[in-house]
Structure 1
Amino acid sequence: MKSSNQKIPIHFPNEIELFIKREDLLHPIISGNKFRKLKYNLAEAKRLGYKKLLTFGGAFSNHIIAVAGAGKEFGFETIGIIRGEELIDKIGENPSLQFAHEHGMQFHFTDRTSYRDKTSPQFLLKLQEMFGSFYFIPEGGTNDLAVKGCEEILTIEDKMEFSHICCAIGTAGTISGIINSSIENNQIIGFSSLKGDFLSDVIRNFVQKKNWNVNCEYHFGGYGKVSDELISFLNFFYMKTKIPLDPVYTGKMMFGIFDLIESGYFPPNSKILAIHTGGLQGVAGMNDMLQKKNKETIQYND
């Protein structure tokens, strides 16, 4: 396992420094925050004697990929409840689903209306009748054990060195763990990939500290949505740093950080740590979609 802090080789005004914590390097498949979120859940599933893991996700879900990879590596059967019945005959056209399938995941596709009931006891009971006993991991992986794993992202040195710590938010587990392990002098900023400000309420279920805020200005239309400007930024960032970002989470976060630096949000001499939470498996699927629309694609090959 490896994770390192890498300084961004771009000059910023007011002596501001930006580093990126390469959590994406933790594991080739179970990377970034997925590694952290699954660590204690897998241990608990093993302790309780479960043989199957069941979780939920969309067509390009990094979480689905990570659970499938973890199942194969650690000896669990895996079941993915996938949003969208229209995908049943399109597994081979979807890089994420194809990868999960090749790593042994069994799929059950459901319509979007039924999918909204994914946390209801009745729906979970129906799945137990269908698949037998399983260890349930929520969509995105966020639960108390996931937050516990994400509390291990920051080192003591990180907490002492950086004034601001930034991360992308999807289901709020990663930022909750970071907040819990932070110290008073750290200002934690979460960049939401979703429309709306409801994630602050989710975070409050897991944390007691007040040294954080959620920025909802850089979602680019909502979860999984991108713009020409965002794709151009991802390619610019890679050209300058050779660090690939994903278009759903970390790319939006980094775009937001750059914009906030330019607008004077960060005080002079701020030292910023951005958490790279992985998610790069989704780049291939996004590029497929962009190509079909004759749009600029993400270029990460030298």
Structure 2
Amino acid sequence: MTSDLPCGPAALAALDPRLPSPLEELRDERFARRGLRLLLKRDDLIHPELPGNKWRKLEPNLGAAASGRHTLFTFGGAYSNHLRATAAAGRLLGLATVGVVRGEELADRPLNPSLARCAADGMRLLFVDRATYRRKAEPEVLARVTAQAGLAADDCLVVPEGGSNAAAARGCAGLGQELRGAADVVGVACGTGGTLAGLAAGLAEGQRAVGFPVLKGGFLEAEVERLQTEAFGGRRGDWHLDDRFHGGGYARTNPELTAFAEDFTARHGLPLERLYVAKALHGLTTLAEEGAFARGMTVVAVVTGAPPSPSGV
């Protein structure tokens, strides 16, 4: 990447990310009575507007941008944290941003707080029907969608849904590397699989990762393997998925998850982001209570983001 780009290395460094992110121990009786330590990897504190896996995924993508591509073009659902992070990155770095949103019907409705924040940060929102969205990775569909925005695909830095690609997986390997020697098991919520792909690759031998999908469908294992193959040449690390804790699916919760999150906050004074972080912690806590971890083990939960501000944005 050339140094004259607005997202060049100097500009990225000027955002002053907090790396490595803090590692905090919590005394939780559900873990302690089974002889386990619980630690939180506070990736939510990396940057106030680009927290957690969003920084780790976006930074290497921005760093790989080709000269002249000053528009970030990406994809997400109506409540996508990735869209919000990309819009914020564009504002902070002086880049134009376009967000392709799943759901043509949303174009005629008031913007929800998440999309309103994207628009306030300067992101142009393009709403497409769900059939088109499913085919967004096909070259002819991508060309048609970028043309709708008045752009050519070659003029944009196209970042996939969730920011997950080979560059993002390599960026998230730093998360695993920061946890070498500090954990036996690391749990993380999974949307598109990029964070787990990199995390597992970065961990040392003898450590393992467990991913908790926040969507239904059972497709993530193949996707994580694909990302690892593209980024590292093949499957890397000891990892598996536990798909019991999606809480009803993407951007959804259920009474059990809500009760868990409220109880966790009451115990520890830490509000939990509900769509990802609470699902991962719920999964790890359940596994601990099921006896899935041997006594003496250290369990780390990755806190990938913070709950929305009281204003909703």
TM-score, scaled to structure 2: 0.86
2:124 pairs with 1:124: no
Q: CA deviation at 1:221?
A: 2.0
2:43 pairs with 1:31: no
User: Could you say what the CA RMSD is over the residues aligned between the two structures, in angstroms?
Assistant: 1.9
Q: CA deviation at 1:283?
A: 8.8
Which residue of structure 2 aligns with residue 135 of structure 1?
A: 157
**Residues 217-296 of structure 1 correspond to what in structure 2 (within 5 A)?**
217-278=244-305, 280-281=307-308
**Residues 10-25 of structure 1 correspond to what in structure 2 (within 5 A)?**
10-11=28-29, 12-25=32-45
Which residue of structure 2 aligns with residue 103 of structure 1?
A: 121
Q: CA deviation at 1:44?
A: 1.6
CA distance in 1, matches of 2:309, 2:211: 21
Tell me whether 209-218 or 168-177 shows the greater mean CA deviation: 209-218
- How many residue pairs get aligned? The number is 283
**Residues 37-116 of structure 1 correspond to what in structure 2 (within 5 A)?**
37-45=57-65, 47-92=66-111, 94-116=112-134
**Structure 2 gaps, min length 5:** 1-16, 229-233
Residue type of the partner of 1:189?
V
Which residue of structure 1 aligns with residue 170 of structure 2?
A: 148
Residue type of the partner of 2:67?
L
CA 1:210/1:24 → structure 2, altered by over 3 Å: closer, same or farther? closer
Provide, for residues 118-139 of structure 1, a one-character-per-residue CA deviation record: whole Å limited to 9, x for no partner. 1111111112323312110001
CA distance in 2, matches of 1:169, 1:279: 15
CA distance in 2, matches of 1:143, 1:59: 21
Contact 1:60/1:285 (<8 A) preserved:
no
CA distance in 2, matches of 1:54, 1:238: 36
**Structure 1 gaps, min length 5:** 287-302
CA distance in 2, matches of 1:215, 1:38: 26
Q: CA deviation at 1:170?
A: 0.8
Q: CA deviation at 1:228?
A: 1.2
Tell me whether 6-15 or 106-115 shows the greater mean CA deviation: 6-15
Q: Percent identity?
A: 35
Q: CA deviation at 1:282?
A: 8.9
Tell me whether 209-218 or 104-113 shows the greater mean CA deviation: 209-218
Which residue of structure 1 aligns with residue 214 of structure 2?
A: 193
